[in-house]
Amino acid sequence: MHPEAQLALHRVRAAELHAQADAYRLATDARQPRDLRVRLGWTLVEVGLRLAAAPRPATV
């Protein structure tokens, strides 16, 4: 492949990847507070299940 054609294709692909990354970053920033709430909720569920579970015998 001709080097200039390859460079042009590379630039087009790089621009597409940058656009995808920007869109992903914007979507991630928009839902970040909910993600924190979800993680906190599941952490509380895990703690509750550990407290409710029967204690295991100690191993030596």
Give the pLDDT band of residue 32 (cuts 50, 70, 90).
Answer: low
Provide the b/e sequence for 22-52 (b: ≥16 CB within 10 Å). Answer: eeeeeeeeeeeeeeeeeeeeeeeeeeeeeee
Please report, for the chain, the start and end positions of each structural domain, with discontinuous segments joined by +.
1-50
The amino acid that residue 41 corresponds to is G
Mean pLDDT of 19-46: 85
Helical H runs in 1-60? 3-52
The pTM (predicted TM-score) of the whole model is: 0.47
Give the pLDDT band of residue 42 (cuts 50, 70, 90).
Answer: very high
